[in-house]
Amino acid sequence: MSEPEEHVVLDRDDLEAWAALATMLEWLPAALDAGLRRNANLTHFEYGILYALADAPDHTLRMSVLANYANSSLTRLSRAAARLETMGLMHRAPDPSDGRYTLATLTKLGLEKFQHATPGHVQTVHQLILDPLTQAQRRQLREISRRITRAIRDEEGWQPATSRDRSG
Amino acid sequence: MSEPEEHVVLDRDDLEAWAALATMLEWLPAALDAGLRRNANLTHFEYGILYALADAPDHTLRMSVLANYANSSLTRLSRAAARLETMGLMHRAPDPSDGRYTLATLTKLGLEKFQHATPGHVQTVHQLILDPLTQAQRRQLREISRRITRAIRDEEGWQPATSRDRSG
DNA sequence: CGCGATGACTTGCTCAGTCAAGTCAAACCG
DNA sequence: CGGTTTGACTTGACTGAGCAAGTCATCGCG
């Protein structure tokens, strides 16, 4: 009755690490979104799409490739693309050389939006994540994140995207 | 990779730390939810509610207190409570001593569900988060998470829940 | 050529979450 | 007392995401 879990427990250190991570997991995405929403009216996910397109040759990518970059299911990307399209930030069209593919292209407005949003977002990342840490911690954060990410991939055999990027 | 942003950038180390974190942020919550969903058909959030109630005297808490424990808005909790109620896992009733409050109580079934779900969840946390890390990294993870969480609180003046201070 | 298989999206349904507005009980104040 | 305010939820309208089913172009094979 005092301890709700009777079988297996996390020891004190583990519990603290887990609790701290869980709290961060709860708040950080919302905080990141909030910054972007305030200064560009974009979600972090949408920003990621603009980022990938801005970075691509001709500001153009196939939807499926874009879904990979954004760690997203094709469904989710499709919906987001529809939103960004109505905002005039991007534009979809069938690939003229192979009608099965859809090419997403950043519009001029979309590029401007991205460029407008970026400095503030970088600043947010600094304020919330990098500046509070020592340089050693930043390196640890990278390593820790990678290990956890790898564990997820390994354990789950998991892929969120429709993926199977066989480009070509 | 050319840099699409022209003004301010993250240096290589920072960028890697941030990218690694962003990837983890994208996958970890889904992976955690997936484990719980598989072995108990609960979301992580719902599990958190059961956890808090199981831990409370008489397995009972006020909704607003519960919202605190769960880092949740009252609205979100209210919806989740409705769900858990239809599953027969908990039960709400006005506080007899002060009708403004609502008391949430774990049912017998809810407690069983929680106890059933816990070992698997703890195992998932171990597999995905703790086991892949060295002990030093676990301590670093705790510290890093706390620093980031503190930065969020400080920068944003932010509170997701408890007191909705809508003046009006 | 023609017809089924395959792959790349897109869409209908449904659900969880948010914001804003509503409800309802108690406290506060004249 | 009675009206107003306050605080604790709850609800309505709407949005974003997932799954599964659908669409549509091309490919493979006879």
Which is it for strands A60-62 and B102-106: parallel, antiparallel or unpaired? unpaired
A40 is in which domain, residue-wise?
Answer: 12-156
Distance from CA of B96 to the nearest CA of A (A): 24
In a domain? residue A3: no
Residue B137: give its domain's CATH number: 1.10.10.10
Low-confidence stretches of chain B (pLDDT beneath 50)? 1-7, 158-168
Which residue ranges have CB below 7 A from strand C? A 62-65, 74-75, 78-79, 81-82, 92, 100-102, 162, 164, 166; B 43, 45, 72-73, 75-76, 79-80, 83, 94, 98-100, 160
Number of domains in chain A: 1
The answer to whether residue B92 is domain-embedded is: yes
Contact yes or no for B138 and A17 at CB 8 A: yes
Q: Are strands B90-94 and A98-106 parallel, antiparallel or unpaired?
A: unpaired
What is the structure's pLDDT at B8? Answer: 54
Q: Do B156 and A34 touch (CB under 8 A)?
A: yes
Q: Determine, yes or no, domain membership for A151.
A: yes
Contacts of range B29-32, beta carbons closer than 8 Å, 24 or more positions apart: B29/A25, B30/A160, B31/A152, B31/A155, B31/A156, B31/A158, B31/B124, B31/B128, B32/B124, B32/B125, B32/B128
Which chain A residues are closer than 8 Å to B16 by Cβ?
142
Tens of pLDDT, residue by residue over A23-57, are: 899 889 989 998 899 889 999 999 999 999 999 99
Structure tokens of B114?
A: 């929680």
| Nearest nucleotide, CA B82 to C1' | D10
pLDDT band at A9 (very low <50, low <70, confident <90, very high): low
Protein residue ranges contacting nucleic strand D, Cβ under 7 Å: A 43, 45, 72-73, 75-76, 79-80, 83, 94, 98-100, 160; B 62-65, 74-75, 77-79, 81-82, 92, 100-102, 163-164
- Which has more pLDDT, A61 or A155? A61
**Closest by Cβ to A156, choosing from B34, B132, B160:** B34
Q: List the single residue in B with minimal CA-CA distance to A32.
A: B152
Question: Is residue A1 pLDDT above 50, yes or no?
Answer: no
A1 part of a folded domain: no
Q: Would A168 be classed as within a structural domain? A: no
Distance from C-alpha of A133 to C-alpha of A127, rounded to nearest angstrom = 10
For residue A19, tell me if it sits in a domain. yes
Using CA coordinates, name the residue in chain B closest to A113. B5
What is the nearest nucleotide to A99, using C1' and CA? D25
> Strand, helix or coil at B32?
helix
Nearest alpha carbon to residue A115 among A161, A58, A53, A68: A53
Distances (CA, A) of A142 to A101, A129, B144: 35, 12, 11
Per-residue pLDDT at A7 exceeds 60: no
* Per-residue burial over B128-151, b = 16 or more CB atoms within 10 Å of its CB, e = otherwise: bbbebbeeebbebbbbbbbbbbeb
Task: Quote the CA–CA distance of B29 and B108 in Å, as a whole number.
Answer: 28
Residue A119 lies in a domain: yes
Look at residue B33 and tell me if it is in a domain: yes
Residue B4 pLDDT: 46
Predicted pLDDT at B159? 42
pLDDT at position A8 is 55
Cβ-contact A80, A67 below 8 angstroms: no
pLDDT tens, residue by residue, A110-164: 999 999 999 999 999 999 999 999 999 999 999 999 999 999 888 765 443 333 3
- The mean per-residue pLDDT over the stretch A69-86 comes to 94
